[in-house]
Amino acid sequence: MSDNKPIFQPNREFAKEARVKNMCEYHALQNEAMEDYEGFWSRYAKEKLDWIEPFTTTLDESNAPFYRWFDGGKLNVSVQCIDRHLSSRKNKAAIIFEGDRGDKQIITYLELYYQVNKFANLLKENFGVQKGDRVVIYMPMIPEAAYAMLACARIGAIHSIVFGGFSAEALKDRIEDAKAKVVITADGAYRKAKPYMLKDVVDKALESGSTVVEKVLIVERNNEEIAWVAGRDYSYNELIKDKSPICQPEPMDSEDPLFLLYTSGSTGKPKGVQHNSAGYILWAQMTMEWVFDVKENDTYWCTADIGWITGHTYIVYGPLAMGATTIMFEGVITFPDAGRPWKMVEEYKINQFYTAPTAIRVLHKTGENEPKKYDISSLKVLGTVGEPIDPPAWKWYYEEVGGSRCAIVDTYWQTETGGHVVSPLPGATPIKPACATMPLPGIIAEILDENGQKVPAGEKGLMCITRPWPSMIRGVWGDDERFKKSYFGDVKKEGQAVYFTGDGAIYDEDGYITITGRTDDVINVSGHRMGTAEVEAAIKKHTKVAEVAVVGKPHEIKGEGIFAYIVMKGEDSFAQEVELIKEINNIIKDEIGNIALCDDIVFVPGLPKTRSGKIMRRILRAIAKNEPITQDTSTLEDPSVVEKIESIVKSCMI
């Protein structure tokens, strides 16, 4: 290998049994895809999916970028995840649930089948939910959340999960945009042994009457006192009692939508990313098999929340499609102490552990020696996702958690890609720390410049995927133009618009890909995407705010923190008023939720703008990072503002 980075070879013993055993096998798969792209995907779709009716076309590119996969085929994702396992795995644990307070539940595939069918019957019979209807799920991490997702899939309803930390306003926006008919929630949940509420957030979101929600279903979790709206609110625990445990799955076209998941972009409100049935579930299953290499008797744990894409693909759909045992965890991994995950690994003999760099940093900082206290020798594969992992966190994860014997799969992907796109294969890929390594077989990922030319090794470029793949985003709900513009508007290769991820990346001389982070105005806070435009829109709701610009700033634990520059109306003193900061953060909490709270808020006399009025965020980013400004400021409308901002920021940081 040509550069000086250390290389970690796959564990030989592990590789012997792995699905992809070495780089020859990896290249053979990648070449197969290159030589006969459709043949490759058609082979896997036939091999992996249970079809009700076989597909007739593999890929239809005639209406690009509205690509279609596996047309003519009919299937049902809940059958792929449950029914097809009943002959060989009916008594196998499908979901192992551990609650915040340590309460446990094991749900076998047969039990999951009954629960999902009953839930599906409830949605149909009591609420009249039909194929194509949208159902919003605003739930804690409890098994009923997974039942709800699969029940929607069974009857062809489109679920849209909203992360439980989003505010009423954010929930309302998503309910409205999707025109959801039903909301499924819980009476509450537990976090760090204390109850927290969800139902009152739903009530508030529906209060304005601007949605078309007809029914709200409430799952019991902590028996907190909640308000009931007659004729709208129903108890899941009551209604489910007399439901039949058999529900015929709806035959779905390959391209019928499976779910929406709202995610932040660089402009405007969050977009409803749409994933469809066949292509999504195929890649969820294939990547589970290749990247985590889960074996029949393994126990796999992904610590994400089902409110994010990682929870969709790698807690629920991927593991269940392949017939694995997946852990669902309600709690916080540092509670009651930073030994919690390792205690769980010991107890459940977990073999694959998948988490975010931000979690690894916290576990490292607050519990460096915790892994030593437990027997975590069952671990075989460790995963990371959501943001670049820094070398010190990687080293600790590799040595102390993985005992220098587990592969670390640094999986690069997005809500829009549905599943992993660049990642090591644990039995094959020699790993360089903190590097996502290579595209998975079947994914044609290239780093291009703005003219669609491949950049040379060592030069930063735009991370693109130049051929459609089965699990790619199918649309932005209700906005075809935004879909085209957001993902296919920036880069053309040989005249053809290609998918641009929004991330920058670099190849090294060995062809290894390192992701360098977003090139747009999206901040990655603890692995969660936050559009600066969204945070700015919230801050602008404060009546005294004239202007605002939000940028990301490196943060030791969260990866990036949120830094806001605010110009107040008619202010000429720039006292950094604590009360005002509180008020602004309260607005953010109401408009978006705690995850968007600003780490720094500074009041400034103006923003650096070009003569055409464009805010020069690069300057603001440099100031927030306390870096020298390398840009020419003479073209600014008021160059003197930069110095003023710098001195205010410096005085605030003391």
Residues near ligand WTA (CB under 6 A) are: 263, 308-310, 385-388, 410-415, 436, 501-503, 515, 517-518, 524, 529
Minimum CB distance to ligand WTA smaller for 74 or for 518: 518
Q: Residue 308 or 394: which CB sits closer to ligand WTA?
A: 308
Q: Give whichever of 331 and 388 is closer to ligand WTA, judged by the CB atom.
A: 388
Helix or strand (DSSP H, E) at 229: none
CB of 201 to ligand WTA, least distance (A): 22
* Comparison of 318 and 502: residue with beta carbon closer to ligand WTA: 502
Q: What angle do CA 501, 504, 505 make, to 5 degrees?
A: 110
Rounded to the nearest whole angstrom, what is the least distance from the CB of residue 260 to ligand WTA in the complex? Answer: 14
Shortest Cβ 55–ligand WTA spacing (Å): 27
Three-state SS for 414? Answer: coil
- What CA–CA distance (Å, rounded) separates 108 from 111? 5
The crossing angle, in degrees rounded to 10, of helices 199-207 and 168-178 is: 60
Least distance CB 499 / ligand WTA (angstroms): 12
d(CA 545, CA 566): 7
* Least Å from the CB of residue 387 to ligand WTA: 5
**Minimum CB distance to ligand WTA smaller for 339 or for 559:** 559
- In this structure, are residues 457 and 443 in contact, taking their beta carbons and an 8 Å threshold? no
Residue in the block written with tokens 């992809």 = 20
The SS3 of residue 345 is helix
> How far is 624 from 629, CA to CA, in rounded Å?
11
156 vs 279, which CB is nearer to ligand WTA? Answer: 279
What letter represents residue 543's amino acid? T
Minimal distance in Å, beta carbon 60 to ligand WTA? 26
| 3-class secondary structure per residue, 495-538 | CEECEEEEEEEEECCCCCEEEEEECCCEEEECCEEEEHHHHHHH
| In the complex, least distance from residue 515 CB atom to ligand WTA, rounded to whole angstroms | 4
Instruction: List C-alpha distances in Å: 261 to 192, 255, 268.
Output: 27, 16, 16
Closest approach of ligand WTA to the CB of residue 217, in Å: 27
**By the 8 A CB rule, do 534 and 596 touch?**
yes
| 222/501 with CB nearer ligand WTA | 501
Q: Which is nearer to ligand WTA, 254 or 526 (CB)?
A: 526
Answer for the pair 72, 255: CB distance below 8 angstroms, yes or no. Answer: no
Side-chain half-sphere exposure of 141, counting CA atoms within 13 A: 30
The nearest distance, CB 112 to ligand WTA, in angstroms, is: 25
User: Given the complex with ligand WTA, which of 58 and 524 has the nearer CB atom?
Assistant: 524
For 365, phi then psi, to 5°, come to: -70, -40
CB of 455 to ligand WTA, least distance (A): 18
> 144 vs 560, which CB is nearer to ligand WTA?
560
Chain centre to alpha carbon of residue 3? 32
Bridge partners of 564, per DSSP, are 550, 601
Nearer to ligand WTA by Cβ, of 117 and 263: the residue is 263
Please answer whether residues 260 and 242 qualify as being in contact, where contact means their C-beta atoms are separated by less than 8 angstroms. no
Nearest partner of 419 among 275, 266, 262, 257, judged by Cα: 275
Shortest distance in whole angstroms from residue 126 CB to ligand WTA = 34
Token digits for 314?
A: 């790698």
Q: Distance (Å, rounded) from C-alpha 503 to C-alpha 485?
A: 16
DSSP state of 116: H
Is-contact 198 142, C-beta < 8 A?
no
Residue nearest to ligand WTA (CB): 415
Report d(CA 431, CA 7) in Å as an integer. Answer: 6
CA distance linking residue 101 with residue 329, whole number of Å: 10
CA 491 to chain centroid: 24
Question: What is d(CA 62, CA 214) in angstroms, rounded to the nearest whole number?
Answer: 39
| Min CB(422)–ligand WTA separation in Å | 8
Pairing of the two strands 182-186 and 499-507: unpaired
CB-CB contact of 409 with 383 (8 Å): yes
**For ligand WTA, the closer CB: 163 or 603:** 163
- In the bound state with ligand WTA, the residue whose beta carbon lies nearer, of 174 and 199, is 174
CB of 413 to ligand WTA, least distance (A): 5
Q: How far is the CB of 517 from ligand WTA (least distance, A)?
A: 6
Report the residue number, 414 or 585, with the smaller CB distance to ligand WTA: 414
Rounded to whole angstroms, the Cα distance separating 534 from 542 reads 14
CB of 436 to ligand WTA, least distance (A): 5
- Is residue 395 a contact partner of residue 433, using CB atoms and an 8 Å limit? yes
CB nearer to ligand WTA: give 336 or 504: 504
